[in-house]
Structure 1
Amino acid sequence: MPAWLLWLIASGLFAAGEVASLDLVLLMFAGGALGGMSVALLGGEVWLQLVAFIVVSTALLVVVRPIAKRQLLDRTPEQIDGVASYVGRTAVVSERVDEHAGRVRLGHDEWTARTQLDGEAYDVGDEVRIVQIEGPIAYVSHT
């Protein structure tokens, strides 16, 4: 089996291991294995392939990994996802909403809705703001 193919397989195994660890270390080793594969394709000796692997892996670990990790960590805490992303958005009443029942349309989705305060009610076509979501129910108020 040619050496370049072994390096390619090693790179794939490192990349697959990265999926399990999510620490961005094995991914840098995968890049180093691609460096070793490149030297093998150019006809370099095994020791040169190993040197390429070590140099590329080290460079990726020292330069790329900290930048990539910082980018991932800096953006994740502020990211709002799931149903929390709907809070604050406006919706249109599709079935009269009061404290007991109702429905609103938010984009292409339709939600069961209730008013936030007792005594409030909104008629079909009214625009409301989603103020809270608990399970399948969106609590709404004035826009």
Structure 2
Amino acid sequence: MTWLWWIGIALVLGILEMVSVALVLVMLAGGALAGALTAALGAPLELQVVVAAVVSVVLLVTLRPWLLRHWRNRVPLTETNAIGYVGRSAQVVSPVTDTEGRIKLGGVVWTARTAAGTRIEPGQDAVVVRIDGATALIAPPDLATGSGPGRDRQAPTRP
């Protein structure tokens, strides 16, 4: 009857893993399943606990790192939030200098600035080179080589 407790523990850990997605609790659930198998074979409780602990540690040390590497390599890195704006065209709303200005980017008005000595007038197009907090660093399209859509630019890296 002890094996039912082990199955219950494995189920609870499996459900909790769905919330955390860290692949830790599922490894412990694997250990609990090993404890259930040991209990079903009639082993004493002490041996069940040892088997569950050993299997959990082995899974955490061997299988989890492999799964994390495999999982991270399969999930594509999507440019979102601020990094998604780099290389996009923007419409200049008010004169943009190296200290101030406003642009319309993705339907939203942003504060913007340019490189030193550059000025872009309202109505002109610009390309977002970088995002610094809530300020877009922009350049005229002819000066923003390498940062436009479809051009070679450095892709973001995974942490």
The TM-score bracket by the shorter chain reads 0.5 to 0.7
The one-letter code of the counterpart of 1:44 is A
Deviation at 1:60, TM superposition (A): 2.6
Q: Does 1:121 align with 2:117?
A: no
Identity of aligned residues (%): 26
- TM-score, normalized by length of structure 1? 0.58
| 1:93 positional shift | 0.8
Q: CA deviation at 1:95?
A: 1.3
Matched, 1:33 2:32: yes
- Matched residue, 2:86: 88
Other structure's SS at 2:59 match: helix
Q: Given residue 47 of structure 1, which amino acid in structure 2 is its aligned partner?
A: A
Q: Shift of residue 54 of structure 1?
A: 5.6
1:49-74 CA-partner distances (Å, limit 9, x unpaired):
92874675365345412302444788
What is the alpha-carbon distance in structure 2 between the residues aligned to residue 127 and residue 34 of structure 1? Answer: 62
**In structure 2, distance between residues paired with 1:137 and 1:26:** 41
Contact 1:91 1:104 in 2 (8 A): no
1:130 aligns with 2:153: no
Q: Cα distance, 1:137 vs. partner?
A: 0.9
Counterpart code for 1:12: V
Unaligned runs of 5+ in 2: 142-159
- What is the CA–CA distance in structure 2 between the aligned matches of 1:15 and 1:131, rounded to whole Å? 44
- Please name the residue that 2:140 is paired with: 142
Alpha-carbon displacement from aligned partner over 1:5-64 (angstroms, at most 9, x marks no partner)? 4542365358759x5xx6x55541222213445x49xx9245289287467536534541
The secondary structure found in structure 2 opposite 1:66 is: helix
Aligned to 2:146: none
TM-score (norm 2): 0.53
Task: State which drifts further: 24-33 or 3-12.
Answer: 3-12
Matched, 1:66 2:65: yes
Q: Cα RMSD between the aligned structures?
A: 4.4
- Which segments of 5 or more consecutive residues in structure 1 lack a partner in the other structure? none
> Of Structure 1 and Structure 2, which has the larger fraction of its residues in helix?
1
Q: How far did residue 114 of structure 1 move?
A: 2.1
Count of residues paired in the alignment: 132
